[in-house]
Chains A and B, each alone.
Chain A
Amino acid sequence: AQSVTQLGSHVSVSEGALVLLRCNYSSSVPPYLFWYVQYPNQGLQLLLKYTSAATLVKGINGFEAEFKKSETSFHLTKPSAHMSDAAEYFCAVSSSGSARQLTFGSGTQLTVLP
């Protein structure tokens, strides 16, 4: 069984400030981890993914995430927020093995204040 918990359904930051979106996972086997972004009335766009290579993963738009096995975490960060980063962010897990479905967290709505 696998699950994802995203702490904080809403996060607000000022433009130029650090963005930190939290994700903790549960998986009985080594996981694959993903961050997706969803803009209003659109589909999900992949930001980055962890597939057991480097623990620090760099994605698009300046985002990165660090896999910490001891903490079962995969938090998403960006050093300096931009107005265009305002969106909903979803963390997802898939376990290595035959099951390929993604299990999503409930999402974090990011607001960027001018």
Chain B
Amino acid sequence: NAGVMQNPRHLVRRRGQEARLRCSPMKGHSHVYWYRQLPEEGLKFMVYLQKENIIDESGMPKERFSAEFPKEGPSILRIQQVVRGDSAAYFCASSPRPSGRGSQETQYFGPGTRLLVL
């Protein structure tokens, strides 16, 4: 059973370009989470999605960032007009459908995409 897949593993962009980060959840998982890790810091929650639905985007910057999880295909985190401050590791995690209200299923993390903005 393959784990969470992310690609690319490393991405270099110049200021003003667009970055697209992809995440394929574990088989059978329908919930995806994106986190950002700045150098020397812990992970910060960005967005939580189910298929075709954004559930919680309270951690997403208001501008330039968007996320989707279409019915078919991977989840995409898109950063438009990147700036140097966007340089970070972006991690995707997936979990199965919660078993009940208030339950917390384990989140399994991918290897991350390391974005460098020149």
Contacts and interface: CB of A to CB of B under 8 A. Distances in A.
Contacts of B1: none
A104 B102 contact: no
Interface in B65-118: 91, 93, 95, 98, 101-112, 114
A114 B107 CA distance: 34
B104 A36 contact: no
Contacts of B55: 100
Contacts of B98: 100
B42 A105 contact: yes
Nearest to A90: B42
A42 B110 CA distance: 8
B45 A43 contact: no
Contacts of A99: 56
Interface residues of A, number: 26
Interface residues of B, number: 32
Contacts of B93: 44, 102
A106 B42 contact: yes
Interface string B34-64: 0100000111110010000001101100000
B99 to A, nearest CB: 11
Contact of B104 (A94, A103, A107): A94
A100 B104 contact: yes
A101 B45 CA distance: 7
Contact of B91 (A32, A43, A96): A43
B4 interface: yes
Interface string A69-93: 0000000000000000000001010
Interface of A: 32, 34, 36, 41-46, 49, 51, 90, 92, 94, 96-107
9 contacts: A42-B111, A43-B6, A43-B110, A44-B109, A94-B104, A100-B48, A101-B48, A102-B43, A107-B42
Given A44-B91, A102-B43, A102-B45, 7 more contacts: A43-B109, A45-B109, A46-B106, A98-B101, A100-B31, A101-B48, A107-B42
